[in-house]
Structure 1
Amino acid sequence: MTYEKVLVLIALIGAASYFQTVTGFGLGMIVMGATSGFGLAPIASIATLLSLVTFANSATALPGKLHHIDWRAVGAATLGVLPSVVAGVLLLEYLSASASGMLQLLLGAVVLYGGLSAALRPAPLAQRSGDRSFFVSGVCGGLLSGMFGVSGPPLIFQFYRQPLTLIEIRCALILIFTVTSATRVLFSVWQGQLGPAIWIEAALAAPVVMLATLAARHYPPPLSCMATRRFAFGVLMAIGAALVLCSLRALFR
């Protein structure tokens, strides 16, 4: 990448880090979407870079807040995420291009419908869901991550529908995505994909990520709990619509 593209990418990562600290998600989805849209860098290298800078985000966002985490929920979701990521990668290799496109269309429609229905009824559930429900959301998130690089929607929907405080939701999601990033980094190391350029870019981006995360911790936007839930579900709708449009474009080429 040119120096100009590196600066744009780092600024984008900083803005997405602020967003993720406020909502618990968004770093990967925002940067990956903008990167593919503007052609800043190869998607594979950006995914690896994001996995590295996620550590800077969580290391700044989570200290002093670990007691807010529902460890049973996070553990159940993580148990579902880790093996299903591998399953998603293998499934993508097995399916034909048309079958993969149809599956992406179906998943996008489900995410769009889920976000829309939740946005119309943003009030949380009366009782916390069982651990099995968190495990299933982790499995679905892992499959999405392995096949399409988007692990967030099922987990976001699951946690934002629970009778949890926003800080509990944010911390849980940040921790789960950090575990997922650690898995990706170990896989990249095993494949020998972490070259010097990635480490340099991560070193440049890490201070920006930490400053943006600190800003979000101390100066969050003045949104109510209900407004934040509606905003999260609105983002889910946007993700679902993007998946549908991308799949339709690929199918009708």
Structure 2
Amino acid sequence: MSKSTHLFSSSLGKKLIMSLTGLFLCTFLIVHLIGNLQLFYDDQGKAFNDYAHFMTHFTPIRIVSYLLYASIVIHAVYALVLTINNRKARPVRYAAYEGSANSAWSSRNMGLLGTVLLVFIVTHMSNFWWKYHNDGVPYIEYRTDLTTQETTATELVGEEYTDYVKYVDNDIEILKAKDLYKQVQFTFQNWVLVAFYVIAMAALSFHLIHGFKSAFQTLGFDHQKYAPIIRFIGIWLFGVAIPIGFAAMPIYFYFFN
């Protein structure tokens, strides 16, 4: 067995892979939140539908998306393997006692938090990604007067459309696109889904607070010089700002849209 093979099959190697995939997923969360904030624009969903098309058709982003899917699977599988190995390595009662005394709740329950997030990812993908890619969302036409910048929107029914068409006719910009914004509105009228999304974001908060710090510790960035900065970013950006930003979307559509 080569040294590299042994490294990645060892406990330390698995933690290293989890750290790298986890930090990659953290980067994705920032980008995804910035894009999804366009849901709050008062433009009948035009900016968000433009964003959805760009994210699914721009070749470099499509390539990165495959890395994202692979990272989710690898992160989940390695987390499961490490959890099983840790339980085999020491008695359950001893581990539970020591964990309760010397570690945070999020640290002791990363398996539970990860399971909630995995169920959330599957639910989220089926509601939006799958339907968007399999004609499960309606189409919409936007007409923008380029002289006044006023936009009107009309749902397109009973016709065949390509995925995305944009052109100008007599100073009127016409955009025909899949209306993922409408799918978001429809999905978040279900209070059960809204509640689940909020709970999942709470789980994400705890998961990120512990995971972000642990990833840097695994990578060797545990010096006292860097620890306060990493802790601040882990708590206030990934533990507070990002989960609140994502949770605000289903709440907004259920109560105000």
**TM-score (structure 2 length as normaliser):** 0.34
Which structure has the larger Rg?
Answer: 2
Higher relative contact order (CA 8 A, sep 6+): 1
